[in-house]
Chains A and B, each alone.
Chain A
Amino acid sequence: MKRYSLLLGATALALAPAAAMAERGSSGHLNIIYWQAPSTLNPYLSGGTKEVESSSLILESMARFDETGAMVPWLAESIPTVENGGVSADLTSITWTIADGITWSDGSALTASDFVFTWQYCTHPEGGCAQAANYDGVTAVEAVDDKTVRITFNAPTPFPYTAFVGSESPVIQAAQFAECLGARAPECTDANFGPIGTGPFKVDEFRPNDVIELSANPNFRFPDRPYFGTVTFKGGGDATSAARSVCETGEFDYAWNLQMDPTILAGMAAQGRCAIEVAFGTSVERIHLNQTNPDPALGDARSTVEGGPHPFLTNPIIGQAMSMAIDRALIVEIGYGAGGKPTCNVLPAPDLYASTANDGCLVQDIPGAIALLDGAGIVDTNGDGIREYNGVPLRVLYQTSTNAVRQDTQALIKQWWAEIGIDTELRNIDASVFFGGDPASPDTFQKFYADIEMYTNNFAGVDPQAYMASWLCGDMPRPQSQWQGSNIQRFCDPAYDALVAEMARTADLNERGRLAREMNDMLVRYSIIPLVHRGGVSARAATLEGHRMSDWDSELWNIMDWRRTQ
């Protein structure tokens, strides 16, 4: 079995010091700007990207994901696998060993009991832990001895690297958070705003939603790192002004998440003070075609299985024609620039899982789409320019969240669909309502009271098993589930459900890849129309080096290696 050879390959290299000459603090002060400011430094109480990434300077986990998605042992000695005995043969437990010489920033030793406590902290029923999903299926976390942590799962788990891996489930200090379990979590403001960690930096001052001042952890396990002695982590403003402060005024060294007009960003970068960094993970901007009928006349049954199938979007020919009519490259050029690439897959990465079977969609083909519809007998019978299918005109309501790029995309797609005889009505909804999940609101993406909707989704980590299980028949949002559920387009295929079950039993990596690709292909023909594979876009000062941007983990995952060019 060579399942984890890819994961092990990069481990030794990743920790090799990049600049043997430099020493701790030799690069001076680092200024980072996140235009969305962190609200807390306890990622278990927030779950937002800004909190997870800012706390990753302080808190660490057993292993992290580098820029290729490969796992790198971090607090652990090595990555446990079935081969090295770290993962039990029946795949129900994983045993991590903490590397030697790791201490908290207060000087006390990191022990296995800290991991046990972290698990108890996050799974406490009254705590409202935002990262609880990382501990799904974990029945026990035990300290075998001071250095050894065993995690037991309730079922065979082919990919056991969820708890204590990546930036979302770091270890917190038991001594500091002992009094903060469950409902008492918010009372521990000092701990939440100044967690003691094992990471390269420690908190000097934290002002929620404003700024964090950090300095190098004096007890950090690598005596020569971090190369920066102090860090200011500022928040506030907007993406454009953050980019300006790195690329034009030079006040900051690193700006995160620059979702802005790509031509403006390219113009700023052209001045030579900064470099634009892009990292691609699994985010895909996609269109969902409602497979159930959203007709308002159905009342409570609209957009549910009880309301019946959609009058025409369940026909794959129509979905295929809609997909063919879209020029994805133009959408990328106008709205995403370097931060996007056209894609035909809802599961675009890691490479092992990315299907190539649908790549034909990358080229726009309006005549082909027209011919396809004409050939299927879906034509305009009453001369109003709109085709009919079984007497129902192809008119769709197309909704998304309010966002300049999304509205541009909507306008383009409406135009292309008009050319193939499909009439589109556009609608946009404030993001806090659209993604808010309030079961009383008719405008949430889960309720899907429209024919078509567009947004971005992704999955954390590198294993798509849970993500692909989103589209099980039973996971449709419906009134009985308070409109919760991940199968947004109400796709249902027993063959798909069977593949999901098979993947949950399969440990072989290549076989898992084949299953995931097969599931992806079922989804994109044609209940989901993928548009853009989106990457994280950041700017770094030209004088900053050692930066390896990963979209699989915190962007700041290797900040201990960052340094100033001489």
Chain B
Amino acid sequence: MAEQIKLTIWRYNPDTGDEYKPQTFIIPYQKDWSILDALNHIKAEVDGSLSYRWSCRMAICGSCGMMVNGTPRLTCSTYLNEFYPNEITLEPLANFPIIKDLVVDLTDFMDKLRSVKPWIIRENKKDEEDTSNEYLQTPAQMESYYQQSLCINCTLCYAACPAYGLHSDFLGPAAIALTYRYNNDSRDQGRGDRRKVVAAENGVWKCPVVGDCTEVCPKHVDPSAAIQRTKVNSAVSWFFSFLKGGKGE
């Protein structure tokens, strides 16, 4: 008999009531299969009603994130051979509402991402439209934000973050890492615009520094460090604005 592997998948169907329950699939084990390959096999051969998101199969689109044995991972780059002969349990990304099966609702994340204006902001709006202008950057200037710019918005860090799970109003790891990325870009002038969002009560201050966001990031972004550095910067500018007679921010 060919080798087999057991996959337990937590499923939810909005049309048949509020049940959220596990279903077990026993499928052929192929040592070069990713978990996503196994899911595609199940959908094609076993149960066509299984829902999940995927696209690129090469860890760049960020859509196939799931809880793999309790840890958020991209299933396209997580292989069966890491677990075989043990079984694998798949759940939709933690901390997000479930739409169906392994598909979660990312609206909240998208709103938060938009709120930090993750694009280059210029004080003179004409700069943003004028495509003839070049903004030169030294390698060192690029180095200062490059790591945080690798984010693919896969939201694994939100699934790993206990603070986001407990306080859904927390801005969260990726949005703050991207704030850091644009604030530290020499071409950007939007730091002040973003401050009222990241330095608010539900911004950086809600982070208790567990550090799992950085651990699970498939692109080696370091949201944890970005958040703590933003705390230092925000505290310093708060004291300065206080000294200047403002009421702090």
| Co-complex (A, B) | no
Chain A residues in contact with chain B, CB under 8 A?
A: none
Chain B residues in contact with chain A, CB under 8 A?
A: none
